[in-house]
């Protein structure tokens, strides 16, 4: 994902949510609807989340330091994880509390047309924000389903905005149903049930975001397609006869670490080894769509004899040379 696409979607969501939050809160003051209060807090939390994503994106662009030699790319994951916590605590738990309070201590709603009009306008604005996120996501989704995209995307901003916008639209519909039923029946308890439904929805979305961003924080490898592309690029070099093992790790949404032990032809010279590694690195960078940090360790693969054949599930092992790591390690 280009950072430009993510920033555009975040700004669209931020502007929409700020306007919606103010309008919803004014509607709450006029009507006394707890659903409107929950929705105004929801939109305010979303606005804060978008600011966090912008801050995370900015801080992740800092240059590498001796203390952080691979840079600060993962800071985007950290801020996305904080977003899930804010959505859970500020949005979800507050809405549950307010809904239970409204059911236990119902209050008559007034000026019901005000929150209804506000909710309809908010649905229109959230639809605009969601449309922007969908358009920007389609530029990088590359044929994945929406579930696959949210689960596999290495850049957290667009999936976060997508889930927030979908949650906001569903929450607005729930609030509209709660306020509508309260107006039709004259029982404000329905407004409380709508508020509880909004809180439960926000908690579910926060948990999904937390699980996905936690995985990114811990460190995810490249996709099977990326790993296959890297392996093919390495094997495309004439002097390289096999990849003994290969590992990848995303250092941030736009940068991947590639580490591999490679077996070269036994008769190549030192100069040819260096040339082969340089060619392999160039091929890897051309094969993947993100920046790469590459470490290739040359080795000589020696197959074991039949009497010392490895177990079926074990990897072939190259002999340990002076000053090198055992085969299977980097």
In the chain the domains, ranked by start, together with CATH numbers, are 3-218 (1.20.1510.10), 224-308 (3.30.70.1350)
pTM score, two decimals? 0.70
Tokens of 36: 């409107």
- The predicted structure's pLDDT at residue 4: 62
- Model pLDDT for residues 38-70, shown as the tens digit of each residue: 778 878 887 888 888 888 888 888 888 888 888
- Model pLDDT for residues 129-155, shown as the tens digit of each residue: 888 888 888 888 878 888 888 888 888
* H-helix or E-strand spanning residue 55: helix 34-60
Q: What angle do CA 112, 114, 117 make, to 5 degrees?
A: 110
Secondary structure of residue 249 in the 3-state scheme: strand
Give dist(CA 316, CA 58) in Å, integer. 44
Which bin fits 142, alpha (ψ -120 to 50), beta or left (φ > 0)? left
Question: For the purposes of burial, counting CB atoms within 10 Å of the CB of 226, is it exposed (0-12), middle (13-18) or buried (19 or more)?
Answer: buried
* pLDDT per residue rounded down to tens, the chain (330 residues): 445 657 777 888 888 888 888 888 888 888 777 777 777 887 888 788 888 888 888 888 888 888 888 888 888 888 888 888 887 777 788 888 878 887 888 777 777 788 888 888 888 888 888 888 888 888 888 788 888 888 888 888 888 888 888 888 888 888 888 888 888 888 878 888 888 888 888 888 888 888 888 888 888 898 888 999 999 999 999 999 999 989 999 998 889 999 999 999 888 888 999 999 999 999 999 999 888 899 999 987 766 544 444 444 444 444 333 334 444 444
């Amino acid at each position: 994902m280009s950072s430009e696409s993510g920033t555009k979607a975040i700004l669209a969501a931020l502007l929409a949510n700020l306007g919606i939050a103010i309008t919803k809160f004014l509607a709450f003051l006029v009507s006394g609807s707890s659903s409107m209060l929950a929705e105004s807090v929801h939109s305010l939390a979303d606005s804060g989340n978008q600011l966090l994503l912008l801050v995370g994106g900015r801080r992740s662009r800092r240059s590498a330091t001796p203390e952080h030699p691979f840079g600060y790319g993962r800071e985007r994951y950290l801020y996305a994880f904080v977003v899930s916590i804010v959505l859970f605590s500020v949005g979800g738990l507050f809405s549950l509390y307010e809904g239970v309070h409204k059911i236990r201590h119902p209050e008559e709603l007034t000026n019901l047309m005000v929150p209804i009009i506000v909710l309809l306008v908010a649905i229109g604005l959230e639809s605009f924000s969601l449309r922007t996120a969908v358009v920007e996501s389609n530029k990088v989704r590359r044929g994945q389903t929406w579930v696959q995209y949210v689960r596999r995307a290495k850049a957290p901003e667009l999936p976060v905005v997508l889930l927030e916008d979908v949650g906001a639209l569903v929450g607005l519909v729930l609030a509209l149903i709660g306020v509508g039923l309260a107006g039709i029946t004259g029982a404000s308890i329905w407004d409380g049930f709508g508020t509880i439904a909004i809180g439960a929805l926000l908690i579910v979305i926060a948990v999904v975001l937390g699980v996905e961003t936690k995985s990114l924080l811990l460190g995810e490898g490249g996709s099977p397609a990326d790993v296959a592309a890297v392996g093919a690029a390495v094997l495309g070099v004439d002097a390289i006869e096999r990849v003994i093992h290969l590992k990848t790790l995303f250092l941030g949404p736009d940068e991947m670490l590639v580490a591999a032990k490679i077996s070269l032809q036994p008769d190549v010279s030192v100069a040819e080894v260096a040339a082969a590694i340089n060619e392999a690195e160039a091929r890897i960078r051309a094969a993947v769509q993100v920046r790469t940090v590459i470490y290739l360790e040359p080795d000589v693969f020696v197959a074991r004899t039949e009497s010392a054949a490895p177990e079926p599930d074990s990897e072939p092992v190259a002999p340990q040379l002076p000053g090198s790591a055992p085969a299977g390690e980097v």
